[in-house]
Structure 1
Amino acid sequence: MSGSLNVFSIEANHTSMAPSVAEKVEDVVNGTVASLKQESQGKEAELAPKDKGPSYPFYYPHFDVSEKFPPTEIFEFTDPGTRADPKKPHLLGPNTKTKDVSPYLGTEISGVQISELTKEGLDELALYAAERKVLLFRDQNFKDIGPEKQIEIAKHFGPIQKHPTSGNAKGYPEFHVVYRDADHDRFREYLGGDRINHTSWHSDVSYEKQTPGTTFFFILDQPESGGDTLFLSQAEAYRRLSPEFQKRLEGLRAVHSAVAQAEHSRQRGGPVRREPVETEHPVVRQHPVTGEKALYVNQGFTRRIVGYKVEESEYLLKFLYDHISKGSDFQIRATYEPGTVVVWDNRLTAHSATGDFDKAIRRHAVRLTPQAEVPIPA
């Protein structure tokens, strides 16, 4: 205690005395360090590349809370794949190269431009997407052909769904914009920040009465690594089940809901352009062109099995979700780069984003989501 008092006494005396040599040296050192640090930070700022913003600012996500859409109405639909030549001569020409990513889904394609395909070629594209589930077109000029042409091509596959809550391009509600940078991460906000991982398997807007078919996704800005998409084959997931279990699932229906998505947007001050709907769809659906059967449940939007009690529904859906998510041998990881266009069939697949890249890195992509038929029960 006495030692402490002596120290206080000495420190108090210092306040009335002239600065010591040691204190002067310390001041000089501290001043030099601060000066060097400031100078260093200045040089770092000069050397650091300035963020010029998105490469394609036209597609920066636009949110207008006053924007409203009418309820969707049933329309007649014929899948363009029904008109396609099975040999696909207008899509897979002599200069086209293909490489399957896995036996069950995914094919990389180079040597052909989607923007230059004829109507026959687009029909064949619909068929090929149904057969291979996911197509990865490399080195495409699709991102540079302008919104009108992009929409025109996508409309070949059905009326384009206008998303009720996501960012779109101003004046072009057909575009569903996927965007993340250091200041914006809606994907993580939507899933919540207290999760171990952010994998979220879903089939796009499966709550619609007429769900998406052949879907387009084009990349504008992409990290050098990460920011990929996981895809799985719901058709192969169905085939892996025993015949008896398959028969038990056929005929069941499940409710798909847009309510949670709409409520999340409302809570954060975002738009709800169309009032949320809940729609019943078959648990197993059949593709209108290939006849292939596929599971049609997903964690993102499926809420319950119709006619089942709560515990029964939760038990069955949990089994199916676990089966889908653990099926690494019928999943792929689609890798991207600017210029990549992914075309997939939403009726036969589920997918999940991967938020595995540094939050300071920009990722920017756009989806065009043509709607197809009312799901056909198996």
Structure 2
Amino acid sequence: MTTFAETGTLRITPVAGHIGAEITEIDLRAELTDQQVTELTAALHEYKVLFFRGQHIGHAEHIAFSRRFGAVTPSHPYDDDAPTEFPEILAVDSRLYEKRFGVRKFSYTNHWHTDVSPLINPPAASLLRAEIAPARGGDTQWTNLAAAYQGLPDSLKSFLDGLRAEHRFGGRQPAWDADSDYAKKVAKAPLVTEHPVVRVHPVTGERVLFVNPGFTTRIAGLSPRQSDALLELLYAELSDPAYTVRFRWEKGSLAFWDNRATAHLAPSDLEHLDVTRVLYRTTLEGDIPVGVDGQHSRAISGERFAGVTG
């Protein structure tokens, strides 16, 4: 189904069966109207990730667009490579990763993950735009964690609704070299939080499967063997292709996703190619997750990550 906005300047076209919509007939260089913000916000909550093409904007316009939807945080709790005049911008730059992590990489992690979930208040949303995209390869995938939860049998849902899981920056297998400066930075100020395995979305009320292989390390109250087995089952469910959408990047493309209801997967098909991939990301300040039982997440290490409205 194709949906047109009331203004006649916005077109929302769903992409995959459970997730994703392409937004056309909009120019992000111009200031959004309140009606457009309302329609895009509703589309984000319905489709979980929105895709824009042909948007040749700079850092300032990227930040201004982001601020129409919430408070924009600094680039990342551990980032010190942001452009000095734009501290809200995170560079996802293949040229920086080898210096940062000690190994050649094209993204922070090649595991499914929800951005910075070890924070007590993980980002509400992320906005990522492409500056340099390889001619082949480098696609990103997203999965709908609300749909993944709904696809589980009722007996398993009831069991998961009462569980908590530890999210630790670095996860079970850190993506960086143990001797790198990044490893030392994380060790000095670790981020660790115990979140509900199933969180309730603060806007839609949907129950969302809130674990991810990039950051979730264990389920509280279970033995290591039981925890690993259950997490592997849940990871297999959330990565089911039925719940996913795949996006091909081009210069000027932008993806805007609900970080409270999705996980995403960075590419792993570029390491053998002599290519450069550069994208820039902003994030919106999130709330503290709440479980089905009404209990909030509990910080073990690390503070709330706040943004500013501008």
Fold shared, TM-score > 0.5 on shorter chain: yes
The residue number in structure 2 matching 1:111 is 25
The residue number in structure 2 matching 1:359 is 273
- 8 Å contact kept, 1:190–1:264: no
Please say which of residues 357-366 and 223-232 is displaced more in the overlay. Answer: 357-366
In the aligned structure 2, how far is the partner of 1:294 from the partner of 1:215? 17
- 8 Å contact kept, 2:75–2:87: yes
Q: 1:310 to 1:171 in 2, by over 3 A?
A: same
The residue number in structure 1 matching 2:153 is 242
Equivalent residue for 2:89, pick from 175, 182, 194: 175
The residue number in structure 2 matching 1:200 is 111
Q: 1:235 to 1:343 in 2, by over 3 A?
A: same
- 8 Å contact kept, 2:198–2:210: yes
The residue number in structure 2 matching 1:121 is 36
Q: 1:153 to 1:223 in 2, by over 3 A?
A: same
Q: Which has the higher helix share?
A: 1
Q: 1:304 to 1:183 in 2, by over 3 A?
A: closer
Q: 1:336 to 1:312 in 2, by over 3 A?
A: same
In the aligned structure 2, how far is the partner of 1:318 from the partner of 1:183? 28
RMSD: 2.9
In the aligned structure 2, how far is the partner of 1:109 from the partner of 1:353? 22
Find runs of 4+ consecutive structure 1 residues off by over 4 angstroms: 181-188, 259-263
Q: 1:228 to 1:340 in 2, by over 3 A?
A: same
The residue number in structure 2 matching 1:347 is 260
1:164 counterpart = 2:77: yes
Q: 1:290 to 1:221 in 2, by over 3 A?
A: same
Please give the secondary structure, in 2, of the residue aligned with 1:189.
Answer: coil
The residue number in structure 1 matching 2:241 is 328
Equivalent residue for 1:257, pick from 168, 183, 189: 168
Corresponding letter in the other structure for 2:220: V
The residue number in structure 1 matching 2:47 is 132
Shift of 1:203: 0.4
1:292 counterpart = 2:206: yes
Q: 1:191 to 1:183 in 2, by over 3 A?
A: closer
Unaligned runs of 5+ in 2: 293-310
Please give the secondary structure, in 1, of the residue aligned with 2:103.
Answer: helix
- 8 Å contact kept, 1:178–1:365: yes
TM-score calculated relative to the size of structure 2 = 0.81
1:282 counterpart = 2:178: no
Identity percentage over the alignment?
32
TM-score calculated relative to the size of structure 1 = 0.67
1:94 counterpart = 2:8: yes
Spell out, residue by residue over 1:243-271, the C-alpha distance to the aligned partner (whole angstroms, 9 max, x if none).
Answer: 11111100211111125698947722247
- 8 Å contact kept, 1:252–1:283: yes
The residue number in structure 2 matching 1:268 is 180
Q: 1:113 to 1:251 in 2, by over 3 A?
A: farther
Q: Which has the higher strand share?
A: 2
Corresponding letter in the other structure for 1:280: E
Spell out, residue by residue over 1:153-198, the C-alpha distance to the aligned partner (whole angstroms, 9 max, x if none).
Answer: 3234234144133442234332111112599586893889xxxxx8
Please give the secondary structure, in 2, of the residue aligned with 1:272.
Answer: helix
- 8 Å contact kept, 2:129–2:280: yes
The residue number in structure 1 matching 2:225 is 311
Q: 1:280 to 1:100 in 2, by over 3 A?
A: same
Q: Which one scores higher on RCO, CA 8 angstroms, separation ≥ 6?
A: 2
Unaligned runs of 5+ in 1: 1-86, 193-197
